[in-house]
Amino acid sequence: MSVKKQFSKSKPVCKVTFKLSKSQVLNAGKVNIVGDFNNWNESSDELKPLKDGSFSHSIDLDSGREYQFRYLLDGTNWMNDENADRYVASGLGNSDNAVITL
């Protein structure tokens, strides 16, 4: 897993690229990134499958904020990013949400 941050020099925006390797997606055919930046919409922000079997997606987010997110594999399996800046309790059972700080 990787999260790449590219801060704009002219706007208070950061281009964030989320990438999962083939082995991390456990043979999933579809991966979405779900978080407070998309109102936890499970069908938006689908990661694009790449030729090497990995998945990637970029989102422009406002700088100076924190965002909670998780990955959703094939619409059923939730997964956190092991490279998140930190984790917080999700409020749903004993699961956590990943947090990215921009």
Tell me: the pLDDT tens digits for 1-26? 689 999 999 999 999 999 999 999 98
Whether 99 contacts 67, CB under 8 Å: yes
Whether 13 contacts 63, CB under 8 Å: yes
pTM of the predicted model over 0.85: yes
Whether 81 contacts 1, CB under 8 Å: yes
Instruction: Tell me which residue range forms the domain holding 9.
Output: 2-101
How far is the CA of 58 from the CAs of 3, 28, 29, in angstroms? Answer: 10, 19, 18
Total count of domains within the chain = 1
Q: What angle do CA 43, 44, 48 make, to 5 degrees?
A: 100
Q: What CATH number is attached to the domain comprising 93?
A: 2.60.40.10
List, for residues 27-47, the tens digit of each pLDDT value: 899 999 999 999 999 999 999
